[in-house]
Amino acid sequence: MDYNAAIEASLQRLHDEGRYRTFIDIERRKGHFPHAVWTRPDGSQKEITVWCGNDYLGMGQHPAVLAAMHEALDATGAGSGGTRNISGTTVWHKRLEAELADLHGKAAALVFTSAYIANDATLSTLRTIFPGLIIYSDALNHASMIEGVRRGNGEKRIFRHNDVAHLRELLAKDDPAAPKLIAFESIYSMDGDFGPIKEICDLAEEFGALTYLDEVHAVGMYGPRGAGVAERDGQMHRLDIINGTLAKAYGVFGGYIAASAKLVDAVRSYAPGFIFTTSLPPAVAAGAAASVRFLKGEGGQTLREAHQTQARVLKSRLKAMGLPIIDHGTHIVPVHVGDPIHCKMLSDMLLEDHGIYVQPINYPTVPRGTERLRFTPSPVHGPGEIDRLVRAMDRLWSHCALNRAEAVA
Ligand SMILES: *Cc1c(COP(=O)(O)O)cnc(C)c1O
């Protein structure tokens, strides 16, 4: 075997299919988000505005979060020094889990290295806890849920995206006595559309299924205390397991599930992805807890309102120019380009000529023909930044002779 040739061939395939990913090196400037410095491959630098970040509320630079992290760092040092099982459970982990359980109105919560690991580890472990479990999974679920559903080798059914009638059909076909779980998201991040939480909970009740909701793109941002869309819609108590991240709106790092005390105890006891890995650094847990706590309060409500306002302003201004916005009423603003070459070109020109950083979203992240630029406005994007973005998009859209058409949503 010529190993080097195989490596090169695998990379060449990605280049040939236009799927090779290039990363943009940025250094965010604390206190000046969304401003950052971009270092080009040749080492030269440029001031840019980040328009595709997931630090949706700017909590990554919030004084309360940074103070909590400094305090824990100074009190206890850098790493946790162990897995949760062997010396790595600290007062900071316990406090964070209590904060999260309270957030979702559940008896318990369990913190993982990331929401990716939380999804993968929990979903695959549920098959151990409930032998014969059938998992019903939305077709557009995140890669981390797909992995978790796939591993463990149990039965799975994929229902068409947000298609409750299709889900009902699939549920009705299976043995009424079989254990079942429906896995879905509250906000799908590429189109920015909501999942039908109430309707799915109704079906779960009717068919005796458990519900598993990924609220990664909603926690911190929706609901009176920032617990997500299920909280906003009064459905939170109907969900058996809620998954969230501490790395997006909470601005720090880590992921979790919230559920009943028994279920959390079982996942804690069986999930290899929880057991056999070092726990979060205490400073990270402390920062995340401070962020969750802050966003539960009035300050959080103010940020959530500002966030929604920014999204509405950006959407209406882009729409006013006839740009094809995909608008489902969430904070995510995807602009449909529909072609990978143009999508990459627009992104390159925005960055180089206008200092605006938005990553092109191409296949396989989204289906071919639906390539897009996905903007994530936040309360830290001022009117000046929105103005510059809108004017740059207007100019580039004309420059590339792209259609000013109806939105595809
Ligand atoms: C980003 C994302 C995750 C993973 O969250 P991390 O904490 O970054 O690992 C899980 N689910 C969805 C829907 C996501 O977009």
- Show Cβ contacts of residue 2 under 8 Å, excluding neighbours closer than 6 positions: none
Under the banding of pLDDT at 50, 70 and 90, the label for residue 406 is low
In the three-class reduction of DSSP (H, G, I as helix; E, B as strand; rest coil), residue 373 is classed as strand
Question: Which of 214, 216, 252, 332 to probe ligand 1 with, by most ligand atoms within 8 A of CB?
Answer: 216
Yes or no: say if 255 and 113 are a contact pair by the CB < 8 Å rule: yes
Q: How far apart are CA 166 and CA 150, in angstroms?
A: 20
From 314, 398, 401, 317, select the one nearest 358 (Cα to Cα): 314
Q: Candidates 113, 140, 144, 190: which one to mutate for ligand 1, based on the most atoms within 8 Å of Cβ?
A: 144
Active site residue 156: no
Catalytic option among 156, 248, 296, 315: 248
Structure tokens at 177: 């006595």
Instruction: Confirm or reject: Cβ of 142 under 6 Å from ligand 1.
Output: yes
97 lines ligand 1 (CB under 6 A): no
pLDDT at 405: 66
Counting from 1 in the atom list of ligand 1, the atom nearest the Cα of 246 is: 7
Ligand 1 pocket residue status of 114, Cβ below 6 Å: yes
**What would the pLDDT profile of 359-395 be if each residue is shown by its tens digit?**
999 888 899 999 999 999 999 999 999 999 999 999 9
214 lines ligand 1 (CB under 6 A): yes
Please give the Cα distance from 59 to 63 (Å, whole number).
Answer: 8
Backbone phi and psi for residue 104, each to the nearest 5 degrees, phi listed first:
-95, 5
Would you call 339 helix, strand, or coil by DSSP? coil
Q: In terms of Cα–Cα distance, which of 397, 393, 316 is closest to 354? A: 393
Q: How many residues are given for the chain?
A: 409
74-125 pLDDT, tens per residue?
999 999 999 999 999 999 999 999 999 999 999 999 999 999 999 999 999 9
State whether the beta carbon of 144 lies less than 6 angstroms from ligand 1.
Answer: yes
Question: What is the distance between the alpha carbons of residues 252 and 290, in angstroms, rounded to a whole number?
Answer: 10
Mean pLDDT over 321-328 rounds to 93
Residue type, 19: R
